[in-house]
Structure 1
């Protein structure tokens, strides 16, 4: 175990990888401009400030993975979705993290 892993712990992407393998709905919650500069293959862009107004796009999805640049906006998106009854939401953290699991 490396020094930083010992201090900060390790990121276990098992659940994230399994959800993606099962065809999870991948949602990049960054701005349209950030999304245009590159994202995860197969992801859709629903910026954080539009999540609450686009809840219908999330209904009926088996697994949902939200992600952004740092993990902050995706954490907020996960909370918004769960407060509105959307289940099976995974905060994938950064788009780089999610892209490694695709």
Structure 2
């Protein structure tokens, strides 16, 4: 029982530290703020291809989180990167991966694609 409490405590501490670090390295933007800047940035949808095909923000490039390590070179370090996923969790993890590789100008859509009310493109 005591070991379980220690493990649970460690998980909570790790989660809090990760959350605070993520808030420092990636700026969460409201839809209005996101909409104001994403056309001048690299817009990346980190969801899986089937999610992307079902609907994505107009002009977005699909680089799934599962492929990000291999495809990171497709992104420029000298331009802002606007990330989004379905609800904001994967885009936060993507920002952490990019930050570790030297990317600094990172933003993500608060609430993710499910909160987006702007133009959407779907594959037929």
Give TM-score scaled by structure 1 length: 0.75
Provide the rounded CA distance (Å) in 2 between the counterparts of 1:101 and 1:92: 15
Asked which structure has the greater CA Rg, the reply is 2
- 8 Å Cα contact 1:16-1:92 kept in structure 2: yes
Q: Is 1:63 paired with 2:80?
A: yes
1:30 maps to what in 2? 47
Number of equivalent positions = 91
Q: Tell me, what secondary structure is at the counterpart of 2:57?
A: coil
Hey, which of these two has a bigger chunk of helix by percent? 2
Q: Tell me, what secondary structure is at the counterpart of 2:107?
A: strand
Consecutive unaligned residues of structure 2, counting only runs of 5 or more, are 1-28
Q: Is 1:90 paired with 2:107?
A: yes
Give TM-score scaled by structure 2 length: 0.63
2:38 to 20, 31, 38: 20
- 8 Å Cα contact 1:58-1:86 kept in structure 2: no
1:73 to 50, 71, 90: 90
